[in-house]
Structures are given as C-alpha cells and as structure tokens.
Chain A
C-alpha cells in the first residue's frame, strides 16, 4: 500500500518535471506545444547513448541531458517556434505534431524501434525499507531530486527578480511588456529551461519508464492532463496534479488494470468541462 503510494509519488514527480516546461509555455505564450515530449526524449536518449556507448557515469548524464535539451529548445525557439506565437491554436498543434513526427522518425532511424534499457549504477539499484514499506532506491533518488527541483523552482519563481517578471508576464503579457519587461527574452529563457527540465526528466525517467521512439506521443497525453488539471497559473497546481496522476496511474494499474486508463481520461474530460481553468487554479481562466 505504502509502496504503491511512494512509487506513485516518484512517478508523479517525474511527470511534473517533464511537464512543468509545458505549463509555462502555455501560460506565458498561450502556445500549445505538443512536441514537448520530444525534448524529454532527447534527454533520455542522450543519457542512454552516453552511458552505453561512452561509459559516462549516470550522475554526469543528468546535467548533460539538461544542457542538451535546453540548447536544443533555445535553438528551436529562436528559429521556428517564435514564428508561431501569433498563429491559431490549430496551426500550433499541427506544427508541433509535425515536429514530433520528425523527432520520432529520427530516433527510430538512429536507434531502432526497440525499447532502450539503461543499466543503472549499483548504488541506485536494490530496495530499502522506508517507513515500513519496501521502496526501490532509484525511486527514492527520483523523489529526492525532484523535490529539490520543485523547491528550487518555487524559490526562483517567488523570490527572485526574474521570477516576479515571469509571473507578471504570465498574468498579463501586454501590461508586463508595457512596464518595460522584455517578455520575449524571458520567454526564450523559460522555454530553454523548460525544455532542459524535460530533458532532465527524460534522463531521470530512463530508470522508471521505458524509452522507445513513440515516447513523445505516448506521454503527450499525460503532460496535457497535468496541465489541464493543474492549470497554468501556478506551479503548485501542476505539481499536485502530477502527484495525483502518478499515484492514480500506479494504483490504477495495480488494483484495477482493466479500467485504470478509462478513469484517468474520464476525470480529465470532467475537469475540463467543469473547471476549464484547472482544478487547483484560483479565479477564472484568462
């Protein structure tokens, strides 16, 4: 019971790290980036390559994946994405689906369609007893790293000048621009950090979820659920939503494997209908 709960929390935290960049993109630029999972896949495959081919230690791979995905995100943002901010949502969706297809094809070409398995270092395998429940060391590791990241993000967002500018831009981009805040630059940075976090999430995820070229499509829906349930105005909303989704998904697969997915999708549709601004968001949606 507690094991499932902890597994679910680890999974949920991972989902949050993967999806948080998307929340900011959507909240800040009102841009639907379905290709977000591709950045996570980039991080994941980089980790796999570095570890299997070059023998780079796992802990070095994590920041490498972050930087790789962040640079990739920055490049794409500057070259392609910025042309689409003023286009319709349909165009954005089609564009990002196109990117996903390209990313999937490239990964498929380079690595094949098989699932990639990564050999975790010894000190991260095995299980330990934690509060009377047995939990994998790796999951504990994920929980610790993700908690630190969440606290860090929250601090940056609430305590720093950059954070308050970002919040201002999300709340009302036009007024923020009028106050002299360089929204475009903030967005580029945030996009890069968000992509980087997705890459880091992908790298962390190599030990929990299996990677194959369909990853961006398979997890796209999870990201969308996190955002739709959590809302885009805060960071705690998506965080709670991700934890909830993680626990529900793990528990659902364990207890009621036949209807697990069904329940999650139904909840998503209901939340979208009843509270379009998200379950945890305050105030009306913009």
Chain B
C-alpha cells in the first residue's frame, strides 16, 4: 500500500532532493560572465588568438582530468596519452583526407580522435579499477609511456620524432577555412570547448555525477549502498579519455601538426598542474588553471625558459604546502568563512 502511494505522490524528501539537484545545476551570473568574457576575447585580444585557442584546448584537457580525478578521484599521470591518441587519430584522418574528402572534415575528425581515445580509455580503464593511488599513478604513467614509445617507433604511421606533417583539415562545416591569424581556430576551439563543457556540467550535476563524488569520498560505503562502483569508474574514465582525445584532435587540427611532444610525460604533468592551480573538483578549475598557467608561461617564459620552470615548481610546492584545493578552493573557503562570520553576527 505504502509503495503505491509513494509511486503516485513523491515524498517530501524526494521533492527536497529534486529541488537541491535542480538548484545545483542552475547557471550563475559569474558563470555566464565567464563565457561572455571568453567570447569577447575575440574582439579584445585579436593579436593573441592562437594563444587563446591553445588555452581553450589545454583547458579542455584539464577538464578531462578534472572529470577523472576531481570528481571520481582516480589519480592519473597519463591523460597525455589520450590527448596524443586523439591528436594522431584526427591528424591521420585529416592527412589521408588531404583537405577535401569527408575524412578531413574537422568535426568528423573530432569524433575520430575522441572515439579512438575513448576506445583505448575504455580498454585501459579496467587496469585502474584496482589498487592504491600509487598503483593507479604508475599504471596510467605506464600506459602513457607505452603510447609514447609506439608513437616514437611507428615511423611509417606517425612520422616518429619528426612529428606528423601535412595535417590538412578541410574548412569547418565546409565554410570557414583555418586562417593564418587563428580566427577560425579560436572560434572553433572555443565552441567545441563550450559544448563539451556544458555536457560535462550536466554530467557532474546529474545523479551519475553525484555517485562519482560519493565513490571518491568512500568507495567501500558507496559499494555497500548498492552502487556499481566499477561500472561507474569505467564510464567516467572512458568519458574523460574522450574529452582528452577531442582536445588532442583540436590541437592537431588547429596547429596542423602532431608530434610525440603531445604524448610526453610533461604534457600529462602540465595538464594536471593546471587543474591543481585552478582547483580540482570544480568545473572551472581546469579552465581557470589553463588560463593562469599559459599566461604565466608566456610572461615568464619570455624572460628565460628556465625561470618559468623554476617558478612553476615553486608555485606547485607552495600550493601543496599552503593552499589546499587551488584557487577556486581558496575562494570557496573564503566565501564559507564570510558567510559563517555573517551568520554569527
């Protein structure tokens, strides 16, 4: 009897839960402002468009790590592998399409890159289900090293250490060709980033996303309440790989080049650092981190490359020692303190 009434009339708890879930997924003013400013950069910084599209791509890569690490708690040092797979898959497709056929269509290229990366991500996701943080770290690193090794050795396919030359994507949607000033590249990367960001936002705010955060909090208890932990982890790892693959495909298409540098260890490490700069577990952490990271790199790297690396390391050490949760974590902490003080008065 009670079951019947429940199914017809949602309990007050269910109504409350629904309201909480919907409230979490509402767009805030700051969020809208962020994207308006991002779009306005096209007019505000017309000379920096290629840098900006690079930031968008790195932001997408950092977002992919955020999904895997920030939300599901899988420590990974190998996200660069999927970035590289995506870049090479899309690059090879564009190369063999030779700027005309359907294969070199950029949007199809994105799906090829993302799809390949997701496939490899799905297959290797079973390796990261077991074990401690250290094991996961080393397994993901190992997978990245194997991919790196394949890219370097399979010269007939990838061009080896010279990189993949002759990547010629056809115009976006058959209309906008990639120009020298990076206008198309910027709008294209930004649009892809925005679309994927909205999807990621929907994913993490959905019950599925909440279950991931529960797994991150305590896998044992989450399993005990009947959550298919392994299935969820496989799913998010595959999604994360897809995102990284799309980022790689974007990089290959906009720079018309793919090199083993894309799969190298420092690519994974850099992207992880961006996420940590910005704040893991916040959707905007990766985006904010990539903006700061790339701007810092541009400014400090212009003085001398070594300075940049030194300050990067120093910032990292400082972040870990003094600031938990990156910039967004810091802001959230301050806001919490402010509201608590306000409540006390």
Residues of A at the B interface (CB closer than 8 Å) are 26, 32, 80, 83-84, 87-91, 93-95, 97-106, 108-109, 217, 221, 224, 228, 258-259, 261-262, 265-266, 268-269, 272-273, 276, 285
- Mind listing 26 A-B residue pairs with CB under 8 Å? A26-B134, A88-B133, A89-B134, A90-B69, A93-B137, A94-B320, A95-B321, A97-B269, A97-B273, A98-B312, A98-B317, A99-B313, A101-B316, A104-B309, A104-B313, A105-B307, A105-B309, A228-B135, A228-B138, A258-B153, A259-B153, A266-B146, A268-B142, A269-B146, A272-B135, A273-B130
- By beta carbon, the residue of chain B nearest A91 is B320
- Residue numbers of B with Cβ under 8 A of A are 69, 75, 77, 127, 130-135, 137-139, 141-143, 145-146, 149-150, 153, 265-266, 269, 272-273, 276, 306-310, 312-317, 319-321
Partner of B137 from the list A32, A102, A262, A269 (CB cut-off 8 Å) is: A32
B273 x A90 contact (CB < 8 A): no
Rounded to whole angstroms, the CA-CA distance of A88 and B75 in the bound complex is 10
Given A261-B145, A265-B149, A272-B131, the answer on whether A98 and B75 have CB atoms closer than 8 Å is: no
From DSSP, what is the main secondary structure of chain A's interface residues? helix
- List, in ascending order, chain A residues with CB within 8 A of B317's CB: 80, 95, 98-99, 102
Instruction: Give the A-B contact count at a CB cut-off of 8 A.
Output: 115
B132 to chain A, nearest CB (A): 7
Instruction: Select from chain B the residue with minimum beta-carbon distance to A273.
Output: B127
* A253, chain B: closest CB distance, angstroms: 13
Is A105 touching B313 in the complex (CB atoms < 8 A)?
A: yes
A109 to B149 CA separation, bound complex (whole angstroms)? 30
Q: How far is the CA of A94 from the CA of B131 in the complex (A)?
A: 20
Cβ-defined contact, A100 with B313, below 8 A: yes
Bound Cα distance A56, B272 (Å): 43
Min CB gap B27→A, angstroms: 30
Given the known A-B contacts A32-B137, A221-B145, are A94 and B272 also in contact in the complex, defined by CB atoms under 8 Å?
yes
Residues of B within 8 A of A106 (CB): 310
How many angstroms between the C-alpha atoms of A102 and B307 in the bound complex?
9
Q: A105-B309, A269-B142 are in contact. Are A95 and B153 (CB under 8 A)?
A: no
Known contacts A84-B320, A88-B133, A93-B137; 14 additional CB pairs below 8 A are A32-B134, A95-B316, A95-B317, A98-B312, A98-B314, A101-B313, A103-B313, A104-B309, A105-B310, A224-B138, A224-B141, A261-B149, A272-B142, A273-B131
Q: B265 contacts A217, CB within 8 Å?
A: yes
Residues of A within 8 A of B142 (CB): 265-266, 268-269, 272
Q: How far is the CA of A217 from the CA of B265 in the complex (A)?
A: 9
